[in-house]
Amino acid sequence: MLKIAVFVSGRGSNLKAILNAVSAGELQIEISAVVSDKSDCPAFDIAKENQIDTFVVSSKISEGEGSYSKLIFELETRSVGLIVLAGFLKKIPDELIDIFENKIINIHPALLPAFGGKGMYGMNVHRAVFDKSVQVSGPTVHFVDKIYDNGRIIAQRAVDISDAQTPEDIAAAVLKEEHKILPFVIKKISEEKVQLKNNRIYIIR
Ligand code: GRF
């Protein structure tokens, strides 16, 4: 069974969506670790309620507790085969990307390659989408490489936001789709149904 680690920084609703899919029997994976840059984020409470090991990392610490090298050791000890960034706000160090090459995915709350890159996270994204009067938005799940929001796209869902009155309306509409697309992509990866052909990602249905 595929073992995954979920990286979070805040609320954890995507973590909850993954857990719900597991409890519903829709997803056969194990969440072996939840990792955050903040020790007191609500997502950690969800992890603890579900008896999942939690780890805090800081890019400023190079060795010992809280360092990425310690985290890599913990992930390897648990045979983690996939890292899922679900609202993790910090840049992933190149060292971790090299070790988990093509094994890190991220969920972004807009249709990449638009509205991505440094500083484009959380409500910043939805405000920018709103201010441009964009009519269609939606989540993107993509592989993570060394550049922000740049890796190959695995899946996207279009959401009609033509009636949105506020950026918060857009956030809510997109989040609903995030909670479906992220467990879907994890499931397809766990079944080895996400494949690279002709330099393009295909999902086998
Ligand atoms: C989501 O909108 C996700 O796309 C973005 O950060 C938010 C995290 O929400 N990267 P949650 O912590 O999963 O509720």
pLDDT single digits (tens) 139-153: 999 999 999 999 999
Specify the pLDDT at position 44.
97
Identify whether 142 is a catalytic site residue: no
What's the CA-to-centroid distance between 87 and ligand 1, angstroms? 4
pLDDT of res. 27: 98
Residue nearest to atom 2 of ligand 1 (CA): 109
Alpha carbon of 168 to ligand 1 centroid (Å)? 13
Report how far apart, in Å, the C-alpha atoms of 33 and of each of 7, 8, 55, 56, 142 are: 8, 11, 7, 11, 20
Show the CA angle centred on residue 6, arms to residues 4 and 12, nearest 5°: 140
Q: Report how far residue 28's alpha carbon sits from residue 42's, in angstroms, rounded to the nearest whole number.
A: 25
Bond into 183 cis (ω within 30):
no
Nearest CA to ligand 1 atom 5: 87
Q: pLDDT tens for residues 51-62?
A: 999 999 998 889
The verdict on the CB of residue 138 being under 6 Å from ligand 1 is: no
For 26-30, 61-65, 100-104, 153-157, which range has the lowest pLDDT when averaged over its residues? 61-65
pLDDT, residue 26, reads 98
Which residues, including other chains, have CB under 8 Å from residue 121's CB and lie 6 or more apart?
A: 89
Q: What pLDDT was estimated at residue 205? A: 93
Specify the pLDDT at position 10. Answer: 95
Residue 178: pLDDT band by 50, 70, 90 thresholds? very high
pLDDT digits (tens, 9 = 90+) for 99-121: 999 999 999 999 999 999 999 99
pLDDT computed for residue 175 by the predictor: 98
Q: Are 40 and 204 in contact (CB under 8 A)?
A: no
Is the CB of 58 inside a 6 Å radius of any atom of ligand 1?
A: no
CB 122 near ligand 1, within 6 Å = yes
Q: Mutual orientation of helices 122-131 and 167-190 as an angle, nearest 10°? A: 120
